[in-house]
Amino acid sequence: MSLPQTPSFRLDGRRAIVTGAGRGIGLALAAALAQAGAAVTLLARSAPEIVDAAARIRAEGGAAEAETVDVLDLAAVAGFFSARPAFHVLVNNAGTNHPKSILEVTEHDYDAVLDLNLKSAYFVAQSAARRMIEEAIVGSMIHVGSQMGHVGGLRRSLYCASKWGLEGVSKAIALDLAPHGIRSNVVAPTFIDTPMTKPFFEDATFKAMVLQKIKLGRIGTVEDLMGAVLFLAGDASALVTGTSLLIDGGWTAG
């Protein structure tokens, strides 16, 4: 009798899309998907970064294209997805943060964070799912959440609201789409060294607090997320849906 065979982590022949893909986590996840054989679309609201990123992926032998769409423009999002073949993998990554005490938060701050981190992710998933169902695609949705979707954080009330919300949305999406063979999961990282977080770590007190909370003793890198997303994107996670994969160095363990 032959041994069971490990499901492949390869994504050859599949189409993937990553929002907010110009730099940081989004760029790394687009690169990971391309390195696994997927044809990747990098999506962002401004062209220069994603055009350069797609060119860098192609220079290494990957398949990548850049598309300029503002995910806050829901009509543009719907039009984009309806006008092209369905994707097998969606990575909902576009996001922002306005770290302020609840005593300082304005309505503008609230709308900026919740609209991008939660509302746009919701409707991007909706548009992607409609096309996947139309083409009978068995696929995977991966939403980039945060450990702050599992705990509270000082000066993070808006960010926590958006990421806790994303956790709930992903679970509900998983139930809605399971009959169609479409999975929905979250990756929830700790603080990752990216252009967005770099200014935070210029505060020595804040950096020391973060390192004390991360039990493995280091700030995360984008490479720490790449394998997790490959797992959730492909056949190795075929029975995984409606869950959250914490990549937090032990932050939420205690």
Quick one: CA dihedral 83, 84, 85, 91, positive or negative? negative
Angle between helices 24-35 and 223-233 (to 10 degrees): 50
**Residue 66: φ, ψ to 5°:** -110, 135
The SS3 call for residue 224 is helix
Question: Does residue 122 have an active-site annotation?
Answer: no
Q: C-alpha angle 199/120/68, rounded to 5°?
A: 80
Provide the 10 A C-beta neighbour count for residue 95.
Answer: 26
Are the C-beta atoms of residues 89 and 140 closer than 8 Å to each other?
Answer: yes
Please say whether the beta carbons of 81 and 131 come within 8 A. yes
CA 222 to each of CA 29, 188, 191, 229: distance values in angstroms, whole numbers, following the listed order:
8, 12, 10, 11
Q: Which one of 80, 123, 159, 191 is the catalytic residue?
A: 159
The amino acid sitting at 21 is A
| Burial (CB count within 10 angstroms: exposed 0-12, middle 13-18, buried 19+), residue 185 | buried
Residues in the chain: 254
Classify residue 51 by burial, with Cβ atoms within 10 Å: 0-12, 13-18, 19+: middle
What residues act catalytically? 159
